Chains A and B, each alone.
Chain A
């Protein structure tokens, strides 16, 4: 009896829509043609009417999410009975649905599947008819894996964990978003004795303590770490423990970039910006990222999350420490725009005028140890990104050119540090080769 509400096709060339606002809440009664939600597409905001009358039973796509047209975004049921039949769905309105641990208002769908308890066959059929697996409303801000495991595992799983004194966050969940299922926890309980026996030896072997930093009586000066230093330290340790880092390096001939830079320098200076190698590298890099989505991704448990926005972080060395301001949607900017953004962010980074949001949300980072003279660098990935580009110094070097002749060319070593969990050497090679080709044959029309 329920009606699926679809993402409407608002135009021939429109393949997806973003829900910007739900006008009705779960549990609200609604008439046919009454405004139900608002969607947004290129410069247009549209109010979408309800396809039928009844009660809004379930919202499947939260505000801010983009889905293809004809995806089910909500379910409307006959007045009264359905809403009463599914109190969990009717209880929390979407924006606050998951603001805290679920307690008794367990999310519909996943728990049911894991525990094997179904409130009614009718409900089950309704869900099956909707096609995609019913996933509870995602969090407004992404929760950590540990939070998901703790808060979103079913009451049954949490009860078993409590009975056996198990910390759920220790388990590798096989459920949605890494949730711990009943099967996972039972397997863990069964292997409990063996695990306990092993753990008596293993952890000791793993956690060898670092030797003391200084001996008593040693001539030292002790200084408290700055907040920034501490944050960098924590992040670097976390990153190196999270991602198995692998590096590839390519030598790139900068003759063409240098020629273009010298030719256009004055023009950019007239516009108030310096045209630097960094701009060329940034431009070529964002275009290469666009070509290889794996370079603009994150890992979430067993899922690979590909980011559509390319937010380019550029590491800036400060007097003490470093900061990575982010150029949002860097691929949408012209060379002039990129130059300006880099210059502006670097300046404000050094004068401590960056806003918090300007150092967040990066999806790929460029760092330039070359400016200090390094031939190449082996940088550590900024989490949760999966790759980082290290730029070496651009110097005149002796190279062998096409016809076995020796020539002097400005060259630069570019290193890609990548997370081997997601990116293999061949992928990194293709990325760097494409980046090298873009730089060596830099498209003049871009400058």
Chain B
């Protein structure tokens, strides 16, 4: 779906005091390209060349490692051969957290925000990202929850929650990058290649599986953009 979409500024949402958040919908983009792009945007944001920006996109199948796994990818369950056969690439990133899978059908959001001067609290930022996603999926009637100690958005009965969205953030002198990944309709089998976030005994789910029918990616992007503006206003 994403391949055909054009890049560019989709909309700007007015915020009370810090100017608009630009939402850029990039469609499907290689992980490495998105990494480069974020790096440049972080510098742009720091220099004041751009305002707060949210990138929304999809990645081709890729497994990314956070700093916790640097040099020891033990939470990848599949062998390199299996990964290659499945067309999945592996990337070492600068973000926090453990191992994550990204792929088609997953809505990835990379907010490039300057948290200074009044939002300098990384926990608050992470909780706010969770809030964005909880509000976004609520629009589809899905009750996302937080699980204390396990960052992300989860769905299900206490103790048996499944992961609907993952969060992994990087903050460079209070400019944010990386962000969240919401499972809209990804190939859930690909998650079996990893132990998501190093948490071994919880499963992964998607909006499509929870709802029992497909949801257009554009509709989910709209919901996330709306919730984002709501929370980060």
Contacts and interface: CB of A to CB of B under 8 A. Distances in A.
Interface of B: 66-68, 70, 74, 94-97, 120-126, 149, 151-152, 159-160, 167-173, 199-202
Contact of B68 (A12, A40, A341): A40
Interface string A30-60: 0001010010111111111100000000000
Contacts of A42: 96, 122-123, 126, 151
B95 A11 contact: no
Contact of A333 (B122, B167, B200): B200
18 contacts: A11-B123, A20-B70, A21-B67, A40-B68, A40-B96, A41-B123, A42-B96, A43-B126, A43-B167, A44-B122, A44-B169, A45-B66, A45-B97, A334-B160, A336-B201, A340-B201, A341-B201, A445-B159
Contacts, number: 91
A43 B97 contact: yes
Interface string A275-307: 000000000000000000000000000000000
A234 B202 CA distance: 39
Contacts of B66: 43, 45
Contacts of A49: 173
A265 B228 CA distance: 44
Contact of A10 (B122, B159, B167, B202): B122
A334 B147 CA distance: 13
Interface string A425-445: 000000000000000000001
Given A333-B200, A337-B201, A340-B201, A357 B74 contact: yes
Contacts of B151: 42-43
A44 B126 contact: yes
Contacts of A320: none
A142 to B, nearest CB: 18
Interface residues of A, number: 30
Contacts of A341: 200-201
B179 to A, nearest CB: 11
Given A10-B123, A11-B122, 5 more contacts: A11-B124, A12-B121, A35-B172, A41-B96, A43-B152
The 3 closest A-B pairs by CB, nearest first: A337-B201, A11-B121, A45-B96
B206 to A, nearest CB: 20
B96 A44 contact: yes
A328 to B, nearest CB: 9
Interface of A: 10-14, 20-21, 33, 35, 38, 40-49, 332-334, 336-338, 340-341, 357, 445
Nearest to A339: B201
Nearest to B171: A46
B122 A14 contact: yes
Contacts of A337: 200-202
Contacts of B68: 40
Given A44-B169, A46-B171, A334 B201 contact: yes
A48 B121 CA distance: 14
Contacts of B171: 10, 44-47
A10 B173 CA distance: 11
Nearest to A63: B70
A341 B199 CA distance: 12
A12 B127 CA distance: 13
Given A35-B173, A341-B200, A357-B74, A45 B67 contact: yes
A33 B174 CA distance: 12
B63 to A, nearest CB: 17
Contact of B123 (A14, A20, A45, A336): A14
A52 to B, nearest CB: 15
A10 to B, nearest CB: 4
Contacts of B172: 35, 46-47
Nearest to A20: B67
B67 A40 contact: yes
Contacts of A14: 122-123
A343 to B, nearest CB: 12
Contacts of B149: 332
B178 to A, nearest CB: 8
Nearest to B72: A357
A43 B168 contact: yes
Contacts of B94: 38, 45
Nearest to A327: B200
Given A35-B173, A45-B95, A357-B74, A13 B123 contact: yes
